[in-house]
Every structure is written in C-alpha cells, then in structure tokens.
C-alpha cells in the first residue's frame, strides 16, 4: 500500500448572513434530477452506499489506527458489476451479496447501472465528472463469450479490446487509457510485464473536478494546529473563506457534519467531525448507512465562514481481503473457490478462472479553488494455478452526488501530514 498526504485540516465556521461576492460560482443551480429515480435505481444506489460503508469497515479494520484511508466505492462497485456478468452459480450469488444486491436479478442490476451512469454524467455544469469502463483480454487465449462482452458494452459503456499480453507494450497501452481517463492523476494500474496467468483486466476509472460554490480566499491561507487521535499536535496549511459560504450543517452530541457544495450544488464534500480526536475510532468503527442517512437528512442550510486545510492524498490498496470479508471469497483465487466464470469464458468450469486481484487507486487534491479527485479499480481475472466549528482532529470525508445520494469517494484523515 502507498499513501501520502500534503498538509490538511482545520475547519471553523462563524454564522452570519451576507451577500455573495466574486468568490462564489455563478451559473445555474442544480436542484433536482432531470427525472425521478425508478425503484430499481433507488435500490441500486442504496445497495451501492451500503457496500461503501461495509467496504470501508472491512478496510479500516486492516489498517493501523493512525493510517489515512480514501476509497471510491462507486469505482469498486462498477468494476465488480462488470465482472459479475461473467460469473455463474454460487460465484455470481456471492459477488452480488458482497455488493449488497442479493436477490436482485442481474438484468435489473445492469439496467440500473446504465441509467445511473447516464444520470451522473453532465448533471452539474459547474462540475467535471467522467466515468469510464474498459475490458482488456488476452487475444492469444480463449476468446471471452460474446454475451458477456455485449452485456458489458451495453450496460457499462465498456471499451473492449483484445491485446497480446506478452507484448512489451501491452501494459503501457492499458495504462495510457487509465492515464487519459484520470487526466494524469493516476498514470498506471497494470504492472509490466503482465503475469502470464492473467487473461483479463476489467477497469473502471472516475475523474471528478469541482469548484467550490464559494471559493476560499488564497490570501488568507496560513498554518494552524491539527490534533492527532493521540493528542499530539501538528501544523497544517489552513485555507479560509473571507465571508460566509453556503453549506449544510448537522450537529448532535457525537458529531458535527458539514456539507460544502461544489458548482451548481449537485455535488458536495461532506465532513463528519467527531466530538474529540480520540472519538474517531468509535466513529470509524460504527459508520453505517443508517447513521449516514440520519446525518444527511438532518442537514440544515445555512451560511458560515469555513477554515479548512488544503490537502493532497493518494491511496493504493489491493482489495482481496476486505472483499473476502464481505463474502465473495469464492470468486477470489486466494480465498475459497472454486470460482465459476463460465459466463465470461463459455465452456469453462468451476476452478478454471478466478479473480487474482482487485487493485484500487485514488487521488484527491483539495485547495482554495475546489477539489480534484480520481479513482481507478482493476479487477484482474487469471487462470487458476453555526456556532464556531473546529475540525482539528481525525475525521471522515466523502464526496457524493447529492441528488441521487451516490457516494463517489469515502475515507478518513487521521494525520494530514503523514508521508
């Protein structure tokens, strides 16, 4: 795992009303979806968010207490959603269950992914959001099934290409696609040379760039204290507004939640600050969809001056252990088995193919202008062998699309200057 962070954190707000100035983003506000969500779409989004918190919990349990964590559950879910179209029998059932979609017909899952992809694209003119899928298969090996390729092309908009994986340029070809889709923020996901047992890469790439609805004043950025969960303090680079910004706020005896919008308001950064630095442990261990939904439902619209750290964070992790913990070990080479991917390779049987790795990389940069974030997930299939608020200690952070409720990124910041 590789994780690095540039200085981050402190957020304070002083509530009072004032007219917007030039730092505010101008343009149309996005206050509603272009159409109502169908029942199937609502079910998929609820499942995706439940998967987000369960994956976060499983990953946090494997990290050291002070380690940062930043994932894109949407990217992981999308890559696995493509892959499940090639699974059969108990393998398919276990993957759907891990994705919190047990009992949902695959056709309904696919159709909902397709419509959610279409909804999220171009939703907010003040935010750049792209989502791309691709499948790369070993052209010198057995060809994947046409029905599998048609499904991923139709429902996930996947670019599909056969490559000679033994070629010295094969890995670079795939990595060039990843680099292009993430605008250079994640330049590679495939190692060179490609392992001879690998027959397929199923890759999702997400890129997000949003300007704050009201930007921070760069001239006011300065150093400030951040308290770690241990009680020790460090100095982080703090940015602040020069006047109250529009935001959502929720407070109870345990947390303060701040929702900072981007662009026209469809997307936001949501910060969940526990009552004390040490309380991040309990908050992180008990981060559930029910608690999240209650916080979001309780947000009140207000204006506040916000002081918050700048930060850049990169994260890389193999997801096989946490996915096994979520119940899909049968699909993974190193856990359980025998996997059945006969939908991907017709004529194959249980144990012929398995998922050898699920590699996940993320990037996020938060500054006075806004936020730039990217994520890539690669599923590798192989042959078997109001009042002032001060955020000055560890916190949970998410980037979400507010109208559908889709969580794009979810993580925690434990030490903003860790390297």
Are residues 321 and 306 part of one domain? Answer: no
Claim to verify: residue 166 and residue 300 sit in the same structural domain = no
- Euclidean distance between CA atoms 212 and 239, whole angstroms: 13
Partners of 383 in beta bridges = 353
Give the pLDDT mean for 79-90: 98
Task: Please indicate, yes or no, whether residues 379 and 392 belong to a single structural domain of this protein.
Answer: no
* Residues 340 and 359 grouped into a single domain: yes
Check whether 11 has a pLDDT greater than 90.
no
265 occurs within a structural domain: yes
* Same-domain pairing of 174 and 71: yes
- 175 and 76 share one domain: yes
Q: Return the CATH number at 246.
A: 2.30.39.10
Overall domain count for the chain: 2
**Distance from C-alpha of 156 to C-alpha of 133, rounded to nearest angstrom:** 7
Give tens-digit pLDDT for 208-231: 999 999 999 999 999 999 889 999
pLDDT at residue 24 tops 70: no
Domain membership flag for residue 356: yes
In a domain? residue 34: no
* Domain presence at residue 31: no
Report if residue 163 sits inside a domain: yes
- The H or E element containing residue 208 is strand 198-211
| 222 and 173 belong to one structural domain | no
* Same domain as 140, residue 98: yes
- Over the range 123-142, which residues count as b (16 or more CB within 10 Å of their CB) and which as e? bbebbbbbbbbbbbbbeebb
Q: Domain check: are 178 and 249 in the same one?
A: no
Cα(239)–Cα(8) distance, integer angstroms: 9
Torsion of CA 24, 297, 403, 411, to 10 degrees: 80
In a domain, 63, yes or no: yes
**Predicted local distance difference test score (pLDDT) of residue 172:** 98
What average pLDDT does the segment 135-158 reach? Answer: 97
The confidence score (pLDDT) of residue 7 equals 33
- Show the domain range for 242: 2-26+211-310+388-413
Name the least confident of 25-39, 154-168, 263-277.
Answer: 25-39
- Reported pTM: 0.88
Residue that the structure tokens 């608690």 belong to: 291
Same domain, 151 and 77: yes
Residues 47 and 119 in one domain: yes
**CATH, residue 367:** 3.30.497.10
Residue range 231-255, pLDDT digits in tens: 999 999 988 999 999 999 999 989 9
Q: Report the mean per-residue pLDDT for the chain.
A: 90
Whether 115 is in a domain gets the answer yes
Task: Give yes or no for a cis peptide into 193 (omega within 30° of 0).
Answer: yes
pLDDT at 4: 42
Give yes or no: residues 351 and 408 share one domain: no
């Amino acid at each position: 795992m590789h994780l690095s962070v540039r200085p981050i954190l402190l957020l304070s707000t002083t509530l009072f009303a004032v007219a917007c100035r030039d730092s505010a983003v101008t343009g149309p506000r996005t206050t509603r979806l272009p159409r109502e969500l169908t029942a199937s779409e609502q079910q998929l989004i609820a499942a995706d968010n439940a998967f987000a918190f369960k994956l976060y919990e499983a990953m946090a349990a494997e990290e050291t207490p002070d380690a940062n964590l930043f994932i894109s559950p949407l990217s992981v879910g999308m890559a696995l959603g493509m892959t499940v179209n090639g699974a059969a029998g108990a393998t398919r059932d276990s993957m759907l269950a891990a994705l919190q979609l047990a009992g949902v017909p695959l056709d309904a899952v696919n159709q909902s992914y397709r419509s959610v992809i279409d909804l999220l694209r171009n939703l907010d003119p003040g935010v750049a959001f792209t989502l791309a899928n691709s499948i790369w298969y070993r052209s010198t090996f057995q060809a994947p099934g046409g029905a599998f390729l048609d499904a991923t092309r139709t429902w996930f908009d996947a670019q599909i290409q056969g490559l000679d994986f033994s070629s010295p340029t094969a890995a670079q070809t795939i990595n060039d696609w990843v680099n292009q889709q993430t605008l250079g923020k994640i330049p590679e996901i495939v190692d060179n040379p490609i392992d001879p047992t690998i027959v397929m890469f199923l890759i999702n790439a997400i890129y997000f760039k949003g300007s704050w609805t009201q930007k921070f004043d760069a001239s006011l950025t300065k150093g400030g204290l951040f308290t770690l969960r241990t009680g020790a303090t460090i100095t982080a680079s703090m940015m602040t507004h020069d006047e109250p910004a529009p935001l959502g706020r929720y407070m109870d005896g345990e947390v303060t939640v701040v929702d900072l919008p981007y662009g026209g308001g469809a997307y936001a950064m949501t910060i969940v600050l526990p009552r004390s630095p040490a309380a991040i442990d309990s908050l992180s261990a008990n981060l559930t969809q029910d608690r999240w939904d209650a916080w979001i439902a309780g947000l009140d619209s207000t204006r506040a001056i916000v002081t918050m750290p700048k930060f850049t964070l990169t994260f890389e992790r193999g997801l096989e252990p946490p996915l096994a913990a979520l119940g899909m070990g049968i699909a993974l080479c190193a856990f359980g088995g025998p996997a059945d991917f006969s939908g991907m390779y017709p004529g194959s049987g249980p144990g012929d193919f398995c998922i050898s790795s699920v590699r996940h990389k993320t990037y996020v940069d938060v500054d006075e202008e806004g936020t730039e974030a990217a994520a890539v997930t690669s599923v590798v299939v192989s042959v078997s062998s109001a009042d002032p608020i001060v955020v000055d200690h560890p916190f949970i952070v998410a980037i979400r699309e507010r109208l559908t409720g889709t969580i794009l990124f979810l993580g925690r910041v434990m030490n903003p200057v860790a390297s």
